[in-house]
Structure 1
Amino acid sequence: MSSQAALYQILFQNDILFQLETIQPVGVAERAVPVAEKTPVTQPAPAVKNTPTVQAPSAPALQELPALKHQILILTEQPGHQELAQAESVFLDNILKAVKYSIDQADLINISFLPPTDASKVISERKTARLITFGVPTARLNLDLLLTPYTPKQINGVWCLLADPLGMIEADRELKKKLWQALQAMF
């Protein structure tokens, strides 16, 4: 997969890029056709039906992330599983050990099982020192950030890193190198 294709996959994998509005047809009131007669007959004006106003569906309220206990926040998106797979958990623990941390010293959240989430306060209120996302696009977190994959960026005192899903990184040696270089810059 080319780096550009990987970037698009990370940025837009679960996003709706555009959506067409469906317009409900409104009933048209029938008009009486005047018929020429010798004697003028007055007809009552046709009643116009009141159409109910259609309100746009409101966006669901965004929830905040659960309370954080550590200075490292790791977000994953795995719709099929609440917990990380055993191999991915070991791989993540090895990644953290390489930078002198462990999986027990990080908050690990699978956002697939959360309602629509707003993570902007995590950065604006500095609730964590490091935010690492594995396969989670920033738009899914309501973060208005432009992050390049595997390029750590410090925003408001919080280091942010966007990376591919753990399973993809574990299987690709080049992605492991990119992740290691990014983590060295962050830690």
Structure 2
Amino acid sequence: MSLNEIDLNAALLTELYGQVLVDTGERAPAKVTQSREPVSPPVAEPPPVAETISQPAVVPAPTPKPVTAPVPEPAAPFIAAAPPTDDDWKFLGKNAQKVLIVVDYQSALHIPDEDLGFLTQLLAACKLNLGDITLVNFLHYRQTSYQAVLEKFGSRRVILFGLDPVQWGLPINFPQFQQQAFAGCQFLHAPDLSAIKADKLVKTKLWVALQPFFGL
């Protein structure tokens, strides 16, 4: 039997001719297998961010604290001391004519001798003497009201030498050498006796004022 007469079934042919028996020099084109990598969906680009201009932080100005003006303390009211007892009053004269003379001396109990001599001359010109008047040094009665002094001596005429009416506590003021009626009395005020004695013009003004004051 020749080779051509051999009956080859399908299974045998597959086994025998699974590979090419004759090399023709041609090669089957290589099968290009494309790698199918998963394609990511396009990522949407974020919208452009506007440039932020950095501005300095605004710090609110501190609220100024209200300036409170100091409240002035009320002035202490004048509180008159209790009137001196009868034994404590310091004065000169016998008050026969109810004439009160008030002086203000820091270094004398009542009045310096040289000023007392000049006052005596003035009283004599007015037809008065020390027995007709009461002389009080304001130094001892700064805390005593004028009302207490007037009541003590029952004064009808008052002459202030070296202090004005307000200093003595009166609620009114008036010019020097001007006669003034107040609280049932006639008032007159003038410079201190030393100044009057040293100035002829002032001495004349006082004399002109004393004449109607005493009814001369």
TM-score by length of 2: 0.54
Aligned length: 137
| Matching residue of 1:40 | none
Q: After superposition, where does 1:1-187 map in structure 2 within 5 Å?
A: 59-64=78-83, 66=89, 70=95, 71-120=98-147, 127-187=154-214
Q: Is the 8 A contact 1:75 1:108 kept in 2?
A: yes
Q: Is the 8 A contact 1:117 1:140 kept in 2?
A: no
Q: Within 1, Cα distance between the matches of 2:127 and 2:154?
A: 21
Q: Within 2, Cα distance between the matches of 1:108 and 1:90?
A: 13
* Amino acid of the structure 2 residue aligned with 1:114: Y
Q: Shift in Å at residue 126 of structure 1?
A: 8.9
Q: Is the 8 A contact 2:80 2:145 kept in 1?
A: no
Query: Deviations for 1:12-59, whole angstroms, at most 9, x for unmatched residues?
Result: xxxxxxxx9777xxxxxxxxxxxxxxxxxxxxxxxxxxxxxxx98564
Identity level (%): 25
Gaps of at least 5 residues in structure 1 are: 1-19, 24-54
Q: Is the 8 A contact 2:162 2:191 kept in 1?
A: yes
TM-score by length of 1: 0.62
Q: Within 1, Cα distance between the matches of 2:200 and 2:71?
A: 44
Q: Within 1, Cα distance between the matches of 2:99 and 2:197?
A: 20
Q: Shift in Å at residue 98 of structure 1?
A: 0.6
Q: What root-mean-square deviation, in Å, do the aligned CA atoms of Structure 1 and Structure 2 show?
A: 3.0
Q: 1:183 to 1:59 in 2, by over 3 A?
A: closer
Q: Within 2, Cα distance between the matches of 1:102 and 1:123?
A: 20
Q: Within 2, Cα distance between the matches of 1:128 and 1:62?
A: 20
- Higher Cα Rg: structure 1 or 2? 2
Gaps of at least 5 residues in structure 2 are: 1-69
* Amino acid of the structure 2 residue aligned with 1:145: I
Q: Shift in Å at residue 78 of structure 1?
A: 0.7
